[in-house]
Structure formats: structure tokens, C-alpha cells
Amino acid sequence: MVAFKCEEKNQYDRDLNISFVLTDSQISPTDLINWNNERGDPCAFLAIRHERYAYSKMIEFGYFDTGLNDWVTKHSPCFAMIVGNYSIKIVHFDDYSQISIYKNTVMIETFIFEIKEHQRAEKIEIKINVFSLGCFRSIYVNKELFYEGEKYIKQSYGNCLLVTMSNNNEKYLRSSKNVFLSAYYNGKWDGDFLFLNYDFGENEWFRNNGIQSLKFTNEDFNDLTNFHINKMYYYGKFILFKTMFKKWDYIMFLDADCFINSTIKKIELIDNFAAVPKYNFIHACKVNKSAEEGCFKDFKEEYDMDSSFFGTGCMIIDTKMIKENDETFFDLCNLTNKYGQLIKMTPEESIINFFISKINWTRLPCIYDFIIGHNLFISEQDKTNIINYHIYSPKPWISENNPLYGQWSEMLKNRIYA
């Protein structure tokens, strides 16, 4: 994108006002402003971040402290960034900066940031996750138009595949049905459906609703030598990376705990792979530091422990990233054999994260995998979520005490292609 050249004086001493009109709440974690030095290296940033497991977002500011030779960051408290007019004002004083965030001219957050030793900034540029571009109608920097968005028109996903997976647990079979039904009715999905079933025969309901079934068993994973035997079913997600799936353009996988609330869109904008970031590696995959010391040492040398860790409850795969001859599937199996002993929890999720961390991937907005909390409080913001992910009990397909039980049970009365 176009960069703003700074004047003679350092840009940290220049007040800045960035204003934008948000027309869609599907904004991803994104770097909004980058200050770069004369070599093009970033020396400060202003970014939109998502709070873990929350719909709320935060504004984060950071600069590179030349004395510490490290980044110093600070962020605002979380707030809901949904449709509206926003302005972020940065005002510089002698030894600190004040960052204020306004919505529709009303200040909603402000915080103070002490600036110490910093690099000279030569230019400003705006960098927005491509998935988020359609969320902005316009962006102004110091009243100068920087970006003017085009209205997003939903694509047809006729050559795409939506997948969920279950074992022969009757409650999760019912939940799997509602993944497809809610995608069809609420998500306006017009592509194909596939039910991955673990080691049981074809279910008549899926066949009668035009849903393909693919059975997998432990024999599909004979190449695994270092795995969690009691979690064998979870490795079924690896199958999505087999060459047979290249017949579709995109694969969208949803856990059976999911329920789609509104239109599924924008998946054609992803880069290779997309999911919702939640933690970092060391926190999320529960690495077993007591495992073989050499193995853990190799792991730390190969992977950045601060890298974003995403959940695999919602994944979108651009099938162009899948290699021929099932090579991608075997890459995942080989990673499991190499590092499986280090993982205490979520074995398949951790391995997919290890693999994807080596390529470019798209950070989805949290409304694509919004976790309904254990207090089951449903706010007005939650109604804008694309996908709700029910990991806490009581789940709506288990208990009538869940406030979403009525919505869930009514959807189950429908049929696809009725």
C-alpha cells in the first residue's frame, strides 16, 4: 500500500489521527499502522488485536526501544468493535503519548504510553489483513483519504466442501446433524457436505439429506508410531489434508460442537489456511517439558514459542496447499512421530499448528469460532457471530437448561434439500 513520508522531524513527535468507517464486524487481528525506519524496518505499530476467547477487541501500541533492544507494548482494555465510525487519536507530550479511541465521536477508551529511546521513523504505512479489507468503507489518516473499500459480494461456494466429524456417540451424531442444518439454513452454504465418521457404518439420515460420508479407522494411521491411543479419533482431521480433497477449491471443517448463526462468507480471501488465533505455542499445546530432553530442545530450536496458536474447531483449507500423493497427510503423521511425546493435550490440534506455522496463513476473526462461556450469557454482540462453539457444559444438545436449547432443537426438525 501507499506509504506516508514523514517530514524532517521524528514522527513520534507528530500527533496522528486515523479514522475509519467499519461496516462489517468480521475484522481480523490486523496491523493498522506501521512506522518504518529508513531501511523499511518496523520501529512502531498500532494494531487491532482480539482478546483470547472473546468477541472483544483491543487497540495495541508498541515501539522498538533501542536502549532495551526489544519491543515495548501496551494495549487498551477490551471493547466491542462492531459497525460504526471510529477514530484513534495519538497525541504526543514531552515524555509520553496518549492514545484515545472514539466511536461515533464518543471516547470509549484511552491509555497513556511512556516513550523512551526509539528509532527515527521515516514513513507510515497501513497494513490490513486481506480478510478484513471488506470491513472498512474508508480509512483516513490526518483527514487524508487513505483507503476506500468496495462492497463485498458473497461468492458461491458450489465447489467447496463443509465437513464435520464424529464417533458413534448418539449425542454427537445429533450435534453433527445440526452443523450441516445450521450451515444450510443460517449459513446459506451452497457447497457440498461431508460427514467424517470414525469406525461405524453409514447413517441413513446423512444419506437422505444428501450428505456424503467417509469412514475412517485406526488402520488409516498405520504410519503413526508416537500418538495418543485414547485420542485416536481426533487424528481424523489429518485426513482433510489428503490429495483426494483437491477436487474441491476450499475445505471448511467445523467441530460437531459448532452451530452456525449467520452467512458463511469471505473464505475465498484466505491465504493457504485460516483459523482463529487463541494462544501462543507454549501455552496452548501443553508441551511436556519432562519428555526426552533432546526432543524438547530440538522442538524449541525449530518453533517459535510465541507463535500464534489457533483452534482447529473451525478451519478453512485452500486445497492448493495440499500436495500430491498424500504428501501433506504424511507430513502431519511424521510430525506426530517426531514430537508426539511432547504433547499433553489436543494432539491433532498441536500437530496441525506445528505444520501450518511454517507457511503463510490467515487469522480469522473470533466470530468464526466464538466460544460460548460456561456462564452461557448470550449478549447482543454474540448475535453477530458466524459460528458459536460450545465447549462448556451443559451443551444445548445435552440439556434443556442451556438457553440455546430451543434454537438448537428447532433446527434439528429441518431437512436439507427438503
What is the number of structural domains in the chain?
2
Whether residue 378 lies inside any domain: the answer is no
Q: What is the model's pTM? A: 0.81
Q: Which of 285, 387, 412 is nearest to 341 (CA)?
A: 285
Whether residue 63 lies inside any domain: the answer is yes
**Residue 246, pLDDT score:** 97
Q: Are residues 140 and 249 in the same domain?
A: no
Q: Are residues 132 and 267 in the same domain?
A: no
Whether residue 351 lies inside any domain: the answer is yes
Environment class of residue 329 by beta-carbon count within 10 Å: exposed (0-12), middle (13-18) or buried (19+)?
Answer: buried
Q: Are residues 211 and 346 in the same domain?
A: yes
Q: Are residues 118 and 217 in the same domain?
A: no
Whether residue 289 lies inside any domain: the answer is yes
* CATH number of the domain within which 170 lies: 3.90.550.10
Q: Are residues 210 and 317 in the same domain?
A: yes
Whether residue 409 lies inside any domain: the answer is no
Q: Are residues 143 and 164 in the same domain?
A: no
pLDDT by position in tens, the chain (length 418): 444 555 444 555 678 888 999 888 778 778 788 888 878 788 888 888 876 555 577 888 888 888 888 898 988 887 777 788 999 998 888 788 899 999 998 998 898 988 888 877 777 787 777 778 778 888 888 888 888 887 778 889 999 999 999 988 777 888 899 999 999 999 999 999 999 998 777 678 898 999 999 999 888 888 877 766 667 788 899 999 999 999 999 999 999 888 888 889 889 988 899 998 876 665 555 555 555 566 777 777 777 776 778 889 899 999 999 999 999 999 999 988 888 777 767 788 889 998 998 888 988 887 777 766 544 444 555 555 677 766 666 777 777 777 777 888 888 888 886 4
Domain termination site, one of 148, 182, 198:
148
Q: Are residues 10 and 95 in the same domain?
A: yes
Could you list the residue range(s) of the whole structural domain that residue 335 is in? 160-366
Give, as one character, the DSSP assignment of residue 210. T
**Residue 81, pLDDT score:** 78
Distance CA 418, CA 183 (A): 15
Distance CA 367, CA 115 (A): 34
* CATH number of the domain within which 131 lies: 2.60.120
Q: Are residues 270 and 311 in the same domain?
A: yes
Domain termination site, one of 122, 148, 174:
148
| CB proximity list for 217: less than 8 A, separation 6 or greater | 198, 199
Whether residue 391 lies inside any domain: the answer is no
Q: Are residues 180 and 284 in the same domain?
A: yes
Q: Are residues 272 and 222 in the same domain?
A: yes
Helix (H) or strand (E) segment spanning residue 165: strand 160-166
Give, as one character, the DSSP assignment of residue 6. P
Whether residue 319 lies inside any domain: the answer is yes
Domain termination site, one of 127, 148, 169:
148
Q: Are residues 359 and 219 in the same domain?
A: yes
Distance CA 113, CA 62 (A): 9
Q: Are residues 234 and 111 in the same domain?
A: no
Whether residue 183 lies inside any domain: the answer is yes
